[in-house]
């Protein structure tokens, strides 16, 4: 009997491709890759996704009435993956418009049945300020995943409980002599990088239990 090939999909809601949020997603995916998981990162900035029209057809039928090939491509990957990671920078203590539009367009995958139920999920976020709304942004994405029926994990490590803060980072590096110091990027935020690694490890641990 062959090994089960597991797939993980990461979706970046940032308008800035390949920047801080993408860095955190890649770090998380790298932990899964180490264990042979097939991974893919989608940049929503590469896609034109029409907004939900609130036609309510999906209240009765498990399909979306909006015909746009680009969202259909993402949905195909959503259905195929075993794990889903969402990443968004903080916009007004919320996800970006790109991420929210994507979330809205998945409504039909939930209303008549939870088509994504049983998969493993996680979320991460990044902001400029230390108290920039990360907690609420993270909660919004995690609630979205739970509503779709995913098993949501975070960065908790029983051996190092004080490190756990949720996978959320900041450019804020300190304050000295009346001046704020900033990190140049997520690569300099060692705490959130380790948080993402632990999230990746936790995801793989649960994937093994559920799918092996």
Question: Could you count the other beta carbons within 10 Å of the beta carbon of residue 3?
Answer: 7
Q: What is the pTM of this model?
A: 0.93
Q: Are 154 and 195 in contact (CB under 8 A)?
A: no
Cα→Cα distances 28→72, 81, 166, Å: 25, 16, 13
Indicate the burial class of 77 (C-beta count within 10 angstroms; 0-12, 13-18, 19 or more): middle
**Phi and psi for 131 in degrees, rounded to 5?**
-110, 65
Q: Are 195 and 170 in contact (CB under 8 A)?
A: no
Digitized pLDDT (tens) for each residue of the chain, 212 residues in all: 446 699 999 999 999 999 999 999 999 999 999 999 999 999 999 999 999 999 998 889 888 888 888 999 999 999 999 999 999 999 999 999 999 999 999 999 999 999 999 999 999 999 998 889 999 999 999 999 999 999 999 998 878 776 666 799 999 988 889 999 999 999 999 999 999 999 999 999 999 999 97
């Amino acid at each position: 009997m062959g090994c089960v090939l597991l797939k993980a999909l990461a979706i970046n809601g940032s308008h800035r491709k390949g920047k801080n949020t993408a860095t955190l997603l890649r770090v998380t995916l790298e932990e899964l890759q180490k264990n042979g998981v097939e991974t893919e990162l989608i940049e929503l900035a590469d896609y034109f996704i029409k907004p939900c029209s609130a036609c309510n057809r999906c209240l009765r039928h498990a399909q979306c009435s909006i015909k746009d090939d680009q969202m259909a491509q993402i949905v195909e990957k959503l259905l195929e993956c075993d794990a889903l990671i969402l990443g968004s920078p903080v916009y007004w203590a919320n996800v970006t418009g790109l991420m929210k539009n994507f979330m809205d367009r998945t409504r039909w995958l939930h209303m008549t049945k939870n088509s994504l139920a049983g998969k493993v999920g996680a979320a991460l976020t990044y902001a400029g300020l230390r108290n920039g709304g990360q907690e609420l942004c993270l909660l919004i994405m995690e609630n979205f995943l739970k509503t779709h029926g995913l098993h949501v994990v975070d960065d908790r490590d029983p051996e190092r409980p004080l490190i756990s803060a949720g996978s959320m980072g900041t450019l804020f590096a300190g304050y000295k002599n009346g001046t704020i110091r900033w990190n140049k990027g997520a690569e300099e935020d060692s705490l959130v990088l380790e948080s993402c690694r632990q999230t990746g490890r936790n995801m793989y641990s649960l994937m093994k239990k559920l799918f092996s």
